Structure 1
Amino acid sequence: MKITRLETFVVPPRWLFLKIETDEGVSGWGEPVVEGRAHTVQAAVQELSDLLIGQDPARIEDLWQVMHRGGFYRGGAVFMSAIAGIDQALWDIKGQVYGAPAYQLLGGPVRDRMRVYSWIGGDRPDDVARAARAALAAGFTAVKMNATEELSYLDVPSKIDAVLARVQAVRDATTPDFGVAVDFHGRVHLPMARVLARELDAMRLLFIEEPVLSENVEALREVRRVTTTPIALGERLYSRWEFKTVLQEGLADILQPDLSHAGGLTECRKIAAMAEAYDVAIAPHCPLGPIALAACLQLDAVAHNAAIQEQSLGIHYNEGSDLLDYLSDPAVFAYSGGFVPIPQGPGLGVTVNEEHVRALARVGHRWRNPLWRHADGSVAEW
């Protein structure tokens, strides 16, 4: 069997899908994308196709190494996301050939279903109590919300008070055991992150996410000192080499590799194994589409330290096209009691509605994240 074609589809709301075809009629799907840089990743996929056309798709590890090591420059969001989507599609093909879900080819499952959480509140967190009640009523056992709008290096106490009030509103609207995760989104700088983390410590949160940007290792150490709340990070780390420092220095309790950013199923399986050796959990990042979620669930099935899974159903980014719209059988993600079953179909376990993909690719998108500014006119972290 040989790879014959790589075809990409820019589809709403902000996704990029990939189809890899072979000379034996077996094809696989992947989701290589950086949110806001879909066309850039699309170009990277096409460049990498020079290394793939005519090759055996079953040689996944070798093809991964060729893509990663075959050029002088490597790593980074765009390049690793291109590899990620290709890797997903190769695992999808392999599963089709053997008639088994990818997790069976990775050693078999350690679980049958995966706990998931729901997003509430939007970019500028609002009406979180109502949204939390709706998530609870829908059967979810946990939610994640952004902590705050933009914060300057030195900001006013009322903004901290507003964060505490929102989190308390979610607590009051749900139950004591309901999980509440608070995402700082990397938009908080160290002076305020220390204050915010300390004040939130009493809220008994599921975790705080990206309290500062992950490249600020020294700042992470400082936040670590002032809180006992579990710290999650990793959506902007793209390989096991970048996660290595986080693990060695004990900077996080939960790693959040994104299977559409961090080299796909092949690389994230290795990241999960590294984390397990440090008694650190994983909670794969996935505010993306159905192919990315399917890949995450294949990893969750085999990673003992997979704790909870992000998913994008109803997320504020998905206006107009949602998670299930591109699937022939949306019931594959049958959420119940705060869990989703591991997909049992071959490969990644989902069947893409190719006709719908091609129709929506004619619409496309040019999604960009908001650009925020502080009161003084300087650019703020989003």
Structure 2
Amino acid sequence: MKITGIELSILESPYNYGIDAGNSDSRGPKYALIVQLHTDEGITGIADCDSHPHVIKAFIDAPCYISKFSEGLKYAVLGQNPFEYEKIGRAMYQSAFYQGRRGAAIHAMSAIDIAVWDIIGKATGNPVSVMLGGRNHERITAYASTLFRGTPAEMKDAVQKYRAMGFKAMKFGWGVVTQEPRKVVELVAAAREAAGSEMEIMVDGMWSADVKLVIQLVKELERHGVFFVEEPLHSDNLNGYRKLAESVDVRIACGEQLAGMYEYEQLIREGGVDVIQPDVSRMGGLTEARRLVDLAEKSGKILIPHAWTSDVLTAASLHLNAYQKHPHFQEFCTNDTPLSRELVCEPLRLEPDGTLVVPDKPGLGLELNHDVIAKYTVEHTRITDLD
């Protein structure tokens, strides 16, 4: 089997990112990228990439600047056997040597890698979780992932909404607290009052450079029984994270903005955080994510994948969670946007017990809804030849 084509579809949502008064939920990213890898045996692998689609397209489709040193990832992928995923990964890493092997370069490699694993699963008739080495779980507890509302009353309404949907846990992030970090305490207090003691609450995105302020706010949040506080500091402030983690009792989470095992190894070694949050479509794909699961377990860390775009990424993350011995949660974006739930023919659904079922069909276990893809596509490229 050989990879014969790379198809890149950039989609545009009718909504801008954020949450406005009167909206029932947050709006997702303005753009999305769907990657499809075609093979000579008629099997197609798919992936979603939670990065800037136009940038990722350039990393994949760029012409050769210096052969095997600075060129688009297509040169490392076309003509390759998808079962040789390690070989493909090394070739992509080498191809991106000069334009950078962190950040967006790793994001682009991640999308290719996820699609490769989808092909492998489909070719063997097995779910990706089986091909990763072990499908240890059939269901993963989901948490509703949404933005902070602007007032305590709106927070209470949101909690009641997610409870009625069947969620047993929820995470509020960004929104108003990015501009006014001190508001986080009253908003979380309102959420806890509405949730009672039976629902887990997570907090995301205060984002301040003031470590002492963050320590103060996190200590106040401890009184409201939050499960973790996610990225209250910039992700590269490892000294700040260690000071924070050593000063509070609540779990500190970080990782969605990192790319590649080097950065995760450094986070675990120096950051002192409790929860590692890789985004499979940003950290190196399922190949690297599987390695990180093993490293996190050996290091005594909790690993909870970040997944905030479409069902394609959520499915890949569910398979990673199924590979873990002791998974905790699956992030489930509640965005009110067609680019979250409408891109596949059978959207993922929350079960009555608050879990998501790990797809059991071959590969990622999803089929793209090509009518919806076509409806929202604003830029389409199919690569079959090298320059």
Name the TM-score class by shorter chain.
0.7 to 0.9
Matched residues in 2 for 1:212 and 1:71: separation?
A: 29
- The residue number in structure 2 matching 1:186 is 207
Matched residues in 2 for 1:99 and 1:151: separation?
A: 45
Do the aligned partners of residues 181 and 355 (structure 1) sit closer, same or farther apart at CA in structure 2, a change above 3 Å counting?
same
Q: 1:39 aligns with which of 42, 49, 54?
A: 54
TM-score normalised by the chain length of structure 2 = 0.85
Do the aligned partners of residues 170 and 82 (structure 1) sit closer, same or farther apart at CA in structure 2, a change above 3 Å counting?
same
Post-superposition Cα deviations, 1:65-115, rounded to whole Å, max 9, x if no partner, equal 211234424432211111111011101111111011011112221111011
Do structure 1's residue 141 and structure 2's residue 141 form an aligned pair? no
- The residue number in structure 1 matching 2:384 is none
Post-superposition Cα deviations, 1:210-259, rounded to whole Å, max 9, x if no partner, equal 12112111111221132100011101111111111222236111100001
Which SS does the other structure have where 2:340 is aligned?
Answer: coil
Do the aligned partners of residues 23 and 123 (structure 1) sit closer, same or farther apart at CA in structure 2, a change above 3 Å counting?
farther
Aligned-partner residue type, residue 236 of structure 1: Q
What 5-or-longer segments of structure 2 have no aligned partner?
A: 14-30, 62-71, 381-387
Which SS does the other structure have where 2:223 is aligned?
Answer: helix
- The residue number in structure 1 matching 2:9 is 9
Matched residues in 2 for 1:270 and 1:241: separation?
A: 12
Q: 2:134 aligns with which of 108, 116, 122?
A: 108
Whether contact under 8 Å (1:87, 1:265) holds in the other structure is yes
Which SS does the other structure have where 2:364 is aligned?
Answer: coil
Aligned-partner residue type, residue 10 of structure 1: I
Please report how far the alpha carbon of residue 363 of structure 1 lies from its aligned counterpart in structure 2 after TM superposition: 7.9
Matched residues in 2 for 1:214 and 1:62: separation?
A: 30
Name whichever of 119-128 and 258-267 sits farther off.
119-128
Whether contact under 8 Å (2:261, 2:292) holds in the other structure is yes
Matched residues in 1 for 2:212 and 2:367: separation?
A: 47
Which SS does the other structure have where 1:298 is aligned?
Answer: helix
Percent of counterpart pairs with the same letter?
Answer: 28
Do structure 1's residue 216 and structure 2's residue 231 form an aligned pair? no
Whether contact under 8 Å (1:300, 1:306) holds in the other structure is yes
Whether contact under 8 Å (1:333, 1:340) holds in the other structure is yes
Question: Equivalences for 1:1-382 in 2 at 5 Å?
Answer: 1-13=1-13, 14-34=31-51, 37-46=52-61, 47-73=72-98, 74-122=100-148, 127-146=154-173, 149=176, 160=182, 162-187=183-208, 189-249=210-270, 251-312=272-333, 314-315=334-335, 318-319=336-337, 321-330=338-347, 332-362=348-378
Which SS does the other structure have where 2:166 is aligned?
Answer: coil
Whether contact under 8 Å (1:84, 1:260) holds in the other structure is yes
Aligned-partner residue type, residue 340 of structure 2: L
Do the aligned partners of residues 3 and 148 (structure 1) sit closer, same or farther apart at CA in structure 2, a change above 3 Å counting?
closer
Which SS does the other structure have where 2:36 is aligned?
Answer: strand
Please report how far the alpha carbon of residue 55 of structure 1 lies from its aligned counterpart in structure 2 after TM superposition: 1.1
Post-superposition Cα deviations, 1:309-366, rounded to whole Å, max 9, x if no partner, equal 1121x32xx43x1422111122x444332110100111011111123212321489xx
Do the aligned partners of residues 165 and 32 (structure 1) sit closer, same or farther apart at CA in structure 2, a change above 3 Å counting?
closer
Q: How many residues align?
A: 351
What 5-or-longer segments of structure 1 have no aligned partner?
A: 365-382
Do the aligned partners of residues 32 and 165 (structure 1) sit closer, same or farther apart at CA in structure 2, a change above 3 Å counting?
closer
Please provide the CA RMSD for this pair.
2.1
